[in-house]
């Protein structure tokens, strides 16, 4: 805030904040939050009343704004300041440049009754002289005309059309109670910029086109022919504080306005000053961005260094792990090479044990063959043994009764050999054992030739007993021992393979 006096600066600042909230509620239906950056205001006291506010928009954002107001203190507070503050309300809401008629029409509607009446009288004179803009041309104008008369026509016609649309919105308030005439006007401008003015008129006011609005507006203005006075919205509420009033001005309302040349000069000065501030802000922003970029570069360099160190540590650790794995692999290979001879010996031992088992089984087969031959010699004599034992034959010879038991033992031995081939080792050992019998001698009458044959048979039976009874247990032990050694060798080979 820059003003000729501190007290005036305080009054203008309080009034600006008051109007910021009051106009936001009227036009938007809600209060505005605090702006990120304050709007600087420059106050100049003088006879001509006027003001100018510049904005910088970029990608839907208000980058900066600056306001200059000039005139008498009382007119600044009730006319010029609310006019310029309304521009800031529209900029904060739309965040883009507006058509000049809507921006200035809404701003004039925020001024007091004196200024609104003057604009209405000028509009009536313009309509009567048929020097007005066509509304379709007016709605599309985004800048100010160069001719002073055209500028005044834009102001008064923009105000008149805005006031008429606000009246239409108030008349349709019963259809949508939550929206006043001013709020409907803001919505109409928004929709017109997005969808086109014809469609916005159809949606908000039920008018088919801009031409239809133009006909109704001209008829409204020429038919009523009202004297200058208050338009819709009533008297603007007074600001919280006002300076002491100056002596009444006897000049006409037209004389109170700032001359166009002076007004254009003030706008040009304000534009240059605003551009200078923007350039300074851009340089400051560039400096901050450069400092941020340097800080980011330092952080990235530090992070890269830390990352490189971490990668180095990880690579070293991976190399150590690879060396340890290689060492373990060589140790395993050496152990396998060392155990290879042992595995060979174990395999050789298994083959040896298998050979021993095969030999033992072959020996059992030979024993079985010998026993079969003996049985072939003894079996023809079996029918005669009872007679020999009872003495029924002629002659006498002493034959031990144990011979009979030997024949029976031979039969049981042959059965034991067969059972041993089937794995019944215990029964075979029991059967082969020689029973304890009592030895008696009897006199049996036989011929000498028969006695010699029986002696030969007894000798062969004794040989069979030796072959069938005694070696069988040893053979079974050897077979069982060979099987155990073979099983142990296979288990050791499995462990070594793992």
Task: Name the residue with tokens 């200059």.
Answer: 68
Residue 162 to residue 123: CA distance in whole angstroms: 12
pTM, to two decimals = 0.49
Write the CB contacts of 350 (distance below 8 Å, at least 6 apart in sequence): 486, 489, 490, 493
Over range 279-303, report the average pLDDT: 81
Residue 99 to residue 141: CA distance in whole angstroms: 6
187 confidence band (pLDDT: 50, 70, 90)? very high
98 confidence band (pLDDT: 50, 70, 90)? very high
Residue 272 to residue 262: CA distance in whole angstroms: 15
End-to-end CA gap in the chain: 92
Q: 451 by DSSP, 3-state: which?
A: helix
Per 3-state DSSP, what percentage of the chain is helix, strand, and coil (rounded to 5)? 70, 5, 25
The per-residue pLDDT for range 44-85, each reduced to its tens digit, is: 888 778 888 888 888 888 888 889 998 888 888 888 999 999
Does 409 have pLDDT greater than 70?
A: no
Does 230 have pLDDT greater than 70?
A: no
**Residue 253: per-residue pLDDT:** 37
Of residues 230 and 174, the one with the higher pLDDT is 174
Q: 227 by DSSP, 3-state: which?
A: coil
**Residue 417: per-residue pLDDT:** 56
Instruction: Count the Cβ atoms, other than its own, within 10 Å of residue 336.
Output: 12
Does 86 have pLDDT greater than 80?
A: yes
270 confidence band (pLDDT: 50, 70, 90)? low
Over range 363-388, report the average pLDDT: 65
Task: State the Cα torsion 382-386-391-392 to the nearest 10°.
Answer: -90
Residue 154 to residue 133: CA distance in whole angstroms: 8
Residue 172 to residue 159: CA distance in whole angstroms: 20
Residue 447 to residue 397: CA distance in whole angstroms: 9
Write the CB contacts of 391 (distance below 8 Å, at least 6 apart in sequence): 442, 443, 444, 445
Between the CA of residue 154 and those of 62, 101, 390, what are the distances in Å?
25, 6, 166
Q: 57 by DSSP, 3-state: which?
A: strand
Nearest in space to 125 (alpha carbons), one of 102, 146, 104, 156: 156
């Amino acid at each position: 805030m820059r003003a000729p006096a501190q007290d005036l600066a305080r009054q203008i600042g309080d009034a600006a904040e008051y109007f910021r909230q009051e106009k936001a509620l009227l036009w938007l239906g809600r209060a505005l939050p605090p702006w990120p950056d304050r709007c600087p205001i420059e106050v100049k006291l003088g006879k001509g009343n006027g003001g100018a506010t510049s904005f910088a928009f970029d990608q839907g954002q208000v980058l900066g704004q600056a306001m200059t107001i000039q005139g008498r203190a009382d007119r600044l507070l009730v006319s010029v300041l609310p006019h310029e503050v309304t521009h800031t309300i529209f900029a904060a809401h739309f965040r883009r440049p507006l058509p000049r008629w809507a921006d200035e029409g809404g701003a004039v509607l925020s001024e007091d009754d004196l200024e609104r009446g003057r604009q209405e009288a000028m509009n009536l004179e313009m309509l009567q002289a048929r020097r007005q803009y066509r509304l379709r041309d007016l709605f599309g104008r985004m800048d100010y005309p160069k001719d002073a008369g055209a500028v005044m026509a834009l102001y008064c016609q923009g105000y008149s059309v805005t006031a008429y649309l606000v009246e239409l919105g108030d008349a349709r308030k019963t259809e949508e109670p939550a929206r006043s005439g001013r709020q409907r006007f803001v919505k109409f401008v928004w929709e017109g910029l997005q969808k086109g003015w014809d469609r916005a008129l159809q949606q908000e006011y039920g008018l088919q086109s801009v031409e239809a609005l133009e006909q109704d507006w001209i008829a409204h203005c020429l038919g009523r022919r009202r004297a200058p006075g208050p338009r819709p919205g009533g008297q603007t509420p007074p600001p919280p504080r006002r300076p002491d009033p100056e002596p009444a001005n006897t000049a006409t309302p037209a004389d109170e306005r700032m001359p166009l040349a002076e007004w254009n000069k003030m706008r040009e000065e304000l534009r240059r000053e605003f551009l200078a501030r923007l350039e300074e802000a851009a340089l400051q922003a560039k400096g901050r961005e450069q400092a941020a970029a340097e800080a980011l570069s330092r952080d990235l360099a530090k992070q890269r260094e830390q990352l490189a160190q971490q990668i180095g540590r990880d690579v070293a650790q991976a190399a150590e792990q690879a060396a340890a794995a290689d060492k373990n692999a060589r140790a395993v290979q050496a152990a396998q090479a060392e155990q290879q001879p042992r595995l060979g010996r174990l395999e050789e031992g298994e083959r040896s044990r298998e050979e021993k088992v095969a030999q033992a089984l072959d020996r059992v087969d030979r024993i079985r063959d010998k026993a079969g031959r003996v049985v072939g010699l003894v079996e023809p004599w079996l029918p005669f043994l009872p007679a020999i034992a009872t003495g029924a034959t002629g002659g006498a010879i002493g034959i031990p009764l144990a011979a009979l038991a030997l024949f029976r033992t031979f039969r049981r031995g042959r059965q034991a050999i067969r059972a041993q081939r089937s794995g019944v080792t215990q029964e075979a050992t029991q059967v082969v054992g020689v029973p304890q019998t009592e030895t008696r001698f009897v006199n049996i009458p036989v011929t000498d030739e028969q006695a010699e044959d029986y002696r030969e048979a007894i000798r062969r039976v004794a040989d069979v007993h030796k072959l069938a009874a005694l070696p069988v247990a040893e053979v079974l032990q050897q077979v069982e021992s060979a099987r155990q050694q073979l099983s142990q060798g296979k288990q050791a080979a499995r462990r070594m393979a793992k």
